[in-house]
Copies of this chain bind each other. A is one copy, B any other.
Amino acid sequence: MTQMLKNSSQAAARPSGKQPAHLTVYENLRDQILFGELAPGQAVTIQGLTAQLDAGMTPVREAIRRLTSDGALNMMGNRRVIVPELTENGVEELEFMRKSLEPQLAGRAAQNINSQDLEALKALDDDLNGAIEMGDIGAYLTLNYRFHAMVYRIARAPIMAATVDRLWLQFGPSLRVVCGRYGTLNLPDKHADLLDALSNEDVEAAENAMLGDVHQGMNQIREALRSATMVN
Our pick among B22, B65, B66, B97 for the contact of A160 (Cβ within 8 Å) is B97
Contact B71 A68 (CB under 8 A): no
Q: List chain B residues, Cβ under 8 A from A22.
A: 65
A58 to B46 alpha-carbon distance, docked (Å)? 15
Complex Cα distance, B97 from A157, in Å, reads: 11
Quote the shortest CB–CB distance from A207 to chain B (angstroms): 13
Please give the count of copies of this chain that the complex contains: 2
For A104, the closest partner residue in chain B by CB is: B96
Note all chain B residues with C-beta closer than 8 A to A163.
97, 163, 166-167
Q: Does the CB pair A94–B61 fall under 8 Å?
A: no
Q: Decide if A67 is an interface residue (CB 8 Å cutoff).
A: yes
**Distance A160 CA – B95 CA, assembled complex (angstroms):** 10
Most-contacted residue by chain B among A67, A101, A104, A163 (CB, 10 A): A163
Q: Known A62-B62, A97-B163; judge A70-B69 contact (CB<8 A).
A: yes
Within 8 Å of chain B (Cβ to Cβ): is A45?
Answer: no
A208 at the A/B interface (Cβ < 8 Å)?
no
Asked if A162 is at the interface (CB within 8 A of a chain B CB), the reply is yes
Instruction: Please list the residues of chain A having a beta carbon within 8 angstroms of any beta carbon in chain B.
Output: 20, 22, 58, 61-63, 65-71, 79, 89-90, 93-94, 96-97, 100-101, 104, 156-160, 162-163, 166-167, 170
Known: A93-B160, A97-B101. 4 other contacts (CB 8 A): A69-B69, A90-B159, A159-B170, A163-B163
